[in-house]
Structures are given as structure tokens and as C-alpha cells.
Amino acid sequence: MTAVMQARLPAPARLRDPMLPSLYRLERLQWDTRDTFSMDLLPQNGADMPAFKPGQFNMVYVYGVGEIPISISGDPGRRDVLIHTTRAVGTVTRAMSEMKVGDTLGIRGPFGTAWPVDAVRKHDVVIIAGGIGLAPLRPAMYRILATREHFGRVVLLYGARTPGDVLYRRELKQWRSEFDLDVFVTVDRATGSWRGSVGLVTQLIGRAPFDPLNTVAMVCGPEVMMRFTTLELEKRGIDRNNIYISFERNMKCGVGLCGHCQFGSVFVCKEGPVLRYSQMQHLLSKWEI
């Protein structure tokens, strides 16, 4: 290699130990629903905020309690804050929900594969989320909206348990009012004043406005929901190579070392969590792997 070429090379980046958490300070904790909250976090000790791609996750470490994978739910275009949306279900997530502004936690990441937002320009995009599954898809929505002119029709189909469990209400309302977005929300059960749709999110697919021959679908939710959703998408005529799903598996290292997240032959932390349906289809209907 010539000296001139060498001079142009950037200084080698200092390699971070992927197993070593960075300190983040909690700036804000806001309850989105009865059991789900969003955290705004800032890196400490003058560290930079790492860039992330829509669909990637961090390993979040609550000191003295434990470490879990949580998707990044903020805007990939913003580098001033890290946002995680978490449902309080057990030991670590509850401990997170009890943290106070100013408390610190450890973050490793971002890890994993991303929604192929930039690779699917010129296509119609249908985003289908169930429950907390909207959190990992929100960054994809932000990214699409930031470069809206590059996409065909953009449709968001979202299913939640009850009207009170609908995440990001304010944003959904705003997206709904945009002329170039089709947003449909449905709940499994409703009483009283809910004027929206009641029924499974899969039932919205049949009439959603997209051209199946030129559509890419991104799906995240409970596995059974994803199974029925992919079936419905195929019925509508979307090629299974154009369907992407995000998988959840228990994780320890998050970087492909321990095998904890293995699903069939796939290490979900490294080859996933976002995977092509065609690659995972044979595993989706298996009871246990």
C-alpha cells in the first residue's frame, strides 16, 4: 500500500469490548400505557451516542438486577437521546420501571440486524405490529417518514389488546392525519367509547391499500400473531422473500458467543432479530426448538 493511500485511511477506531456496558443516565421516564414505559437516556463520561439502525436492540443492564435485550424505539436520525420502550413483565423490566431520573444503567449495543428500510425504496411498505411490537418498528416509521418520497404507499397496521394498551397514541394520531400514510389500529376487545376497529390485526390485511406484487412487509409482535400475519400476507400475494419478521429469544451475550438465543440454526442476536420470513418459515410453526 502506498504512503498516500495510507495517509487517507482513518485512524483505527478504538475497539470497544462488546461485553462492557457503557453508563447511561435516565433523563426521563414516561408511562405510555398501564404497563409500558419509555426511557430517555444519555451517555455519561462524555461518551458519544452510537448510531443505530431501525430494528436493532441494546442489552440493558440494571446494576445488581440483571441484563436484558430491549429494542431501540427512538428516531435513528436523532443522536441526542437514546429511547427504549419497555413493558414491565418481570424482574429486570420492573426494576427499570422503578428507576428515577438521574439513576444510571448499563448499555451494550446496538446489536443485531435491521429492518431493510433503505434497501426497499420504490416499494410499497406495510408495517404490521402487535402490542409492544410497535416499539422496534417505530424507528423504521421514522426513517421512512424522513425519506417519504422514496417509497410507494406506506401502511401501518397495529393491533393491541384494549384501547388502553395502544402505544404512542399521539404519534399514531399524527401519522393518521398525514395524507400519504394509511394507519389502521385495531384492538382485541373494547367497551364504551372506542370508535375504532375491534378484531385481529390480521383482519386488516385483506383490504389494506398496497400492491402485493411490489410490497415489502415488516412484522413484529407475539409469535402466534406473526404466524397468522404472514399467512394472511401470503394470501394477499406478497412473496415470502419480501416479508421480514423480528424474533425474540432469551439472550445472554447479545453478540453471538454463548448460543443462548439459538433458534434452529440461527443465532437470533447476531443473524437477527430481523430475519426474512422465507428463512424462518419452517421454524415458525414448530412448538419447541
Partner 1 sequence: MNTLEPLLAKHPFFQGLESEYLKLITGCASNIRMNAGEFLFREGEDADRFFVIREGSVKLELFSGGRGPVTIQTIPEGEIVGYSWLFPPYRWVFSGRAVTPVRLFVFDGLCLRGKCDDDPKLGYELMKRFSHVMMGRLQASRVQLLDLYQVR
Ligand X SMILES: Cc1cc2nc3c(=O)[nH]c(=O)nc-3n(C[C@H](O)[C@H](O)[C@H](O)COP(=O)(O)OP(=O)(O)OC[C@H]3O[C@@H](n4cnc5c(N)ncnc54)[C@H](O)[C@@H]3O)c2cc1C
Give the footprint of ligand X on this chain (CB under 6 A): 57, 66, 68-71, 85-87, 89-93, 132, 135-136, 248-249, 251, 273
Partner whose footprint covers residue 266, from ligand X, partner 1, ligand FES, none (CB < 5 to 8 Å by kind): none
Q: Are 128 and 219 in contact (CB under 8 A)?
A: yes
Residue of this chain nearest to ligand X (CB atom) = 90
Q: Distance between CA 182 and CA 192 in Å, rounded?
A: 25
Residues that bind ligand FES (CB under 6 A): 251-254, 256-261, 267, 269
Residues that bind partner 1 (CB under 8 A): 35, 87, 89, 130-132, 159-161, 165, 186, 188-192, 194-200, 202-203, 207, 221-222, 224-225, 228
Partner whose footprint covers residue 253, from ligand FES, partner 1, ligand X, none (CB < 5 to 8 Å by kind): ligand FES
Phi-psi region of 102 (alpha: psi -120 to 50; beta: other; left: phi over 0): left
- Compare residues 57 and 168 and give the one whose CB is closer to ligand FES: 57
Residue type, 248: E
Phi-psi region of 84 (alpha: psi -120 to 50; beta: other; left: phi over 0): beta
Partner whose footprint covers residue 243, from ligand FES, partner 1, ligand X, none (CB < 5 to 8 Å by kind): none
Q: Distance between CA 61 and CA 21 in Å, rounded?
A: 7
Q: Are 29 and 101 in contact (CB under 8 A)?
A: yes
Residue type, 231: L
CB of 212 to partner 1, least distance (A): 16
